[in-house]
């Protein structure tokens, strides 16, 4: 009888562990979330870089000090592809793909990053008043 209870207890523990991993995503999912967080931070850095240099020269604009060189991607995001595109005379966007839905659903980046499926973009537009590039 004790062996039966022990067997049931072992099965319950195994089911609880497997269920917990399914709900939380496990260590692989946590690693992808960490990479997405670094990818989103780098996307913001690239947006600021392009806002400072998009016109072919480093602009004298708030936050442009030391932005003459493109920021290097942090280690977990080095394989990520970042795409820069002019979307008009007074607008551009920088995009990359995210591995999880975490960045969308967590609100970590507020409304700065626009998502289309797994692709996230940060968009800038030239302000009419002073000509500085501002996130949309």
Tell me the pLDDT tens digit for each residue of 84-103: 999 888 899 999 888 887 76
C-alpha dist (Å) from residue 73 to 10, 61, 123: 45, 23, 19
**59 pLDDT above the threshold of 70:** no
User: What would the pLDDT profile of 11-27 be if each residue is shown by its tens digit?
Assistant: 877 777 766 666 666 78
Tokens of 86: 């002019």
User: How far apart (Å, rounded) are the C-alpha atoms in residues 102 and 118?
Assistant: 10
Average pLDDT of the chain to the nearest whole number: 78
Residues in the chain: 136
């Amino acid at each position: 009888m004790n062996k039966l209870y022990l067997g049931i207890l072992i099965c319950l523990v195994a089911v609880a562990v497997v269920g917990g991993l399914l709900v939380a995503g496990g260590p692989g999912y946590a690693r992808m979330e960490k990479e997405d967080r670094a990818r989103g931070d780098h996307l913001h850095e690239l947006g600021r870089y392009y806002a400072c240099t998009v016109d072919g020269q480093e602009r004298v604009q708030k936050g442009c000090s030391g932005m003459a060189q493109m920021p290097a991607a942090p280690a977990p995001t080095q394989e990520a592809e970042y795409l820069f595109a002019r979307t008009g005379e007074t607008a551009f966007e920088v995009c990359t793909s995210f591995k999880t839905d975490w960045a969308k659903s967590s609100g970590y980046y507020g409304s700065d990053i626009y998502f289309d499926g797994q692709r996230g973009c940060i968009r800038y537009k030239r302000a009419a008043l002073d000509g500085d590039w501002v996130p949309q």
